[in-house]
Amino acid sequence: MMLRVQRERMHDAFFPTEREYARRYGLNADRMARMPDHAIVMHPGPMNRGMEITAEVADSRRCTAVEQVTNGVSIRMAVLYLLLGGAEPALTTGAAETATATATAEATNRTEENA
């Protein structure tokens, strides 16, 4: 799992340069090749491509960042709904199944496009 370097909040030099960070800690194709075949790459987004993760890895079939970001919005909406006193389900069963089917189809299409 990757975490995003929050450059906008960095006012001090936590590492010498972005290039040095990428060399030491970034996920690139060589490091991904050492991972087990069943391993996936997770990243909550947004990504700093070329720094914490290379474009090659971010665009690979093993990267789930797009799905994570897509699902993260729904999860946050559901949590806020419940925290704000929601007593009824936010979606009816049919609507939830339709939303799940749509998300699955989009993920499948993305995987096929990257193949």
Query: Is it the case that residue 8 has pLDDT exceeding 80?
Result: no
pLDDT in tens, 58-99: 999 999 988 888 888 888 888 898 888 876 665 666 666 666
Give yes or no for residue 35 having a pLDDT over 70. Answer: yes
List Cα–Cα distances, 59 to 14, 17, 66, 85, in angstroms: 28, 24, 10, 39
Q: Is the pLDDT of residue 111 over 80?
A: no
- From residue 106, alpha-carbon distances to 18, 69, 80 in Å are 33, 13, 25
Answer whether residue 19 shows pLDDT above 90.
no
Per-residue pLDDT, 33? 95
Q: 97 versus 49: which is more confidently predicted?
A: 49
Residues 27-34 have a mean pLDDT of 95
pLDDT of residue 58: 93
Tokens of 25: 């800690």
What is the mean pLDDT of the segment spanning 37-55?
89
SS (H, E, C) 33-97: HCCCCCCCECCCCCCCECCCECHHHHCCCCECHHHHHHHHHHHHHHHHHHHCCCCCCCCCHHHHH
- Rounded to whole angstroms, the Cα distance separating 23 from 20 reads 5
